[in-house]
Structure 1
């Protein structure tokens, strides 16, 4: 339920996360509605919703590469406690949705536009305009790129406010590869589109000390345990074609920044080595060049890529920034 005005929200914490998962998260997760719809070119997309009959506000959560709705149980719970109904889904090629290649561990997509059209199909299925006074969008990483392109190509989207968490509007890479990345990825994809990007492979578990995602050993272990318990959601490295498609998409995000027409909050992880923070700065500046103060960037100092799965101090900050922004 939504807290009284002026009362600070209380979020789940690392200290008791395991016990909390058993006592609260699992029963909460078991209340979900779930199903499949047909996405672009017949791919089955897995979706979930967590609702309460008194709620009048909805949040659509669009996750990142390798992720699944199953990973977001803690975030969904904390958001639902603030009076929001939650809707989310798994992208084609990952999670519990249909895969896009015979190798279930390969992160692959034929066209990045398929992700965008899938989001359109999902939103039509959820039919939020019929049931809610306000609807919001929260998107992470690759989901941020998908959502950005959706907003740019669907001006009548109806979202009141949008939060992008470490969005993939640029991919982190050494400076000397930046000018070569697009032609090189195109060349590699032309030779073997469903081959893994060199240096990448199928699903494997990195030790916490080597992970690029979070400083929280507890949340990292929770996520890894989940993927061991549900091997169907395991995913490894991206295909060469996925990389080429993604690089082209990030360029479009910038070229059409003027088409963003909704207040936008970008949560930037200062220690991110997955996506490009400089590209995020440029993206926000381009939006504001055309629409003054429409976009706001908040740097999450000390955070790795996954701000909603970080240590409590950083995660609490990310949630407070998000909820304050959504309330306008």
Structure 2
């Protein structure tokens, strides 16, 4: 289990803020288009059932998934997560590192390929499973459609469409389409902020979690390691995200066991798109979580335990 290829490039890993299983590590990997991204993994002597690929959302980074990795390790699973291009310690896409940007949403699949390559080189236990959160749900869904080698999958608040107020949706679509064409693709979406949401908004009235401990955990991580912080998205990101979500919506669901968890207080991603996808996922299950917001894996301990128990119960059937 401890054998490691000699050519791996060790990357910074902030175990003190991750609060994951002991022995967590991170490595630099290079994508097929030459970007450097960071991949983290947790493996212990007892994580022999398989490995869960934890695909993070926008603004997120490896260390945020430390507590989830601990929960998975307690149930026998290793875990891998990633700093997608443009966030965390991965190469940022614009000189202003606080701008959340991507050239094309399909570029994230190059990051997925690099994650899988590292997992194989590390000989992490198989089979592989997937949990995609928020933007990671969109990246994960496309990866599944393109043959991601997992035995089963789960999603938490997946971004299968971008939430916008009904009155704003036509303007958002137009801005995402026209903005890049007239040289505004690298500009911040006007309704967002360069500062990270959790750092500038108090817990009271937040749109992420009902658990004050989970909310403070996110704030403390970014305060301790400011380089991990990301602000609002660019117009290019918005346009590309809308385009990729529309393309995915037109495709059939993968023939793969799936559970999707959605909070009844979800305010970040588009809920109708999730209901639509799961209604046409053969054998898929949509679990609605009462009084739960977007950050399902940073909700109250009772919610987290329920979700991860269900998640691992599914994975256990396909080990």
* Aligned partner of residue 222 in structure 2, secondary structure: helix
Equivalent pairs, count:
298
| Correspondence for 1:83 among 67, 76, 79 | 76
* Aligned partner of residue 298 in structure 1, secondary structure: strand
- Compute the TM-score of the two structures, normalised by the length of structure 1: 0.85
Once the 2 structures are TM-superposed, how far is the Cα of residue 130 of structure 1 from its aligned partner?
A: 5.7
2:177 pairs with 1:186: yes
Given that residues 107 and 235 in structure 1 are in contact (C-alpha distance below 8 angstroms), is that contact kept between their aligned partners in structure 2? yes
Alignment of 1:91-130 (within 5 A): 91-127=84-120
Q: CA separation of 1:236/1:243 partners in 2, compared to 1, >3 Å: closer, same or farther?
A: same
Distance (Å, rounded) in 2 between the aligned partners of 1:133 and 1:226: 30
* Aligned partner of residue 85 in structure 1, secondary structure: strand
Distance (Å, rounded) in 2 between the aligned partners of 1:133 and 1:143: 21
* Aligned partner of residue 127 in structure 1, secondary structure: helix
2:319 pairs with 1:327: no
Q: Deviations over 1:266-294 (max 9, x none)?
A: 11111111101111010112333xxxx2x
- Compute the TM-score of the two structures, normalised by the length of structure 2: 0.88
Given that residues 258 and 285 in structure 2 are in contact (C-alpha distance below 8 angstroms), is that contact kept between their aligned partners in structure 1? yes
Once the 2 structures are TM-superposed, how far is the Cα of residue 108 of structure 1 from its aligned partner?
A: 0.3
Given that residues 105 and 235 in structure 1 are in contact (C-alpha distance below 8 angstroms), is that contact kept between their aligned partners in structure 2? yes
Q: CA separation of 1:234/1:25 partners in 2, compared to 1, >3 Å: closer, same or farther?
A: closer
Residue 5 of structure 2 aligns with which residue?
Answer: none
Once the 2 structures are TM-superposed, how far is the Cα of residue 196 of structure 1 from its aligned partner?
A: 0.3
- What RMSD over aligned residues (CA atoms) do the two structures have, in Å? 2.1
Once the 2 structures are TM-superposed, how far is the Cα of residue 179 of structure 1 from its aligned partner?
A: 4.6
Residue 231 of structure 1 aligns with which residue?
Answer: 226
2:304 pairs with 1:315: yes
Deviates most, 79-88 or 142-151: 79-88
Q: Deviations over 1:70-123 (max 9, x none)?
A: 111111111111111111111000011110111110000011111112102211
2:233 pairs with 1:215: no
Residue 33 of structure 1 aligns with which residue?
Answer: 25
Distance (Å, rounded) in 1 between the aligned partners of 2:295 and 2:81: 17
Q: CA separation of 1:134/1:166 partners in 2, compared to 1, >3 Å: closer, same or farther?
A: same
Distance (Å, rounded) in 2 between the aligned partners of 1:164 and 1:314: 15
Q: CA separation of 1:84/1:202 partners in 2, compared to 1, >3 Å: closer, same or farther?
A: same
Q: Deviations over 1:29-59 (max 9, x none)?
A: 5512221000142110101111124514111
2:164 pairs with 1:169: no
Q: Deviations over 1:3-22 (max 9, x none)?
A: xxxxxxxxxxxxxxxxxx97
Given that residues 33 and 110 in structure 2 are in contact (C-alpha distance below 8 angstroms), is that contact kept between their aligned partners in structure 1? no
Once the 2 structures are TM-superposed, how far is the Cα of residue 257 of structure 1 from its aligned partner?
A: 2.5
* Aligned partner of residue 199 in structure 1, secondary structure: coil
2:145 pairs with 1:152: yes
Q: Higher helix fraction: Structure 1 or Structure 2?
A: 1
* Aligned partner of residue 175 in structure 1, secondary structure: coil
Residue ranges of structure 1 left out of the alignment (5+ in a row): 1-20
* Aligned partner of residue 66 in structure 2, secondary structure: helix
2:42 pairs with 1:50: yes
Alignment of 1:290-309 (within 5 A): 293=283, 295-309=284-298
Given that residues 264 and 292 in structure 2 are in contact (C-alpha distance below 8 angstroms), is that contact kept between their aligned partners in structure 1? yes
Alignment of 1:11-22 (within 5 A): none
Q: Deviations over 1:140-175 (max 9, x none)?
A: 000000000111122xx3211101111000111122
| Correspondence for 2:61 among 68, 87, 92 | 68
Residue ranges of structure 2 left out of the alignment (5+ in a row): 1-14
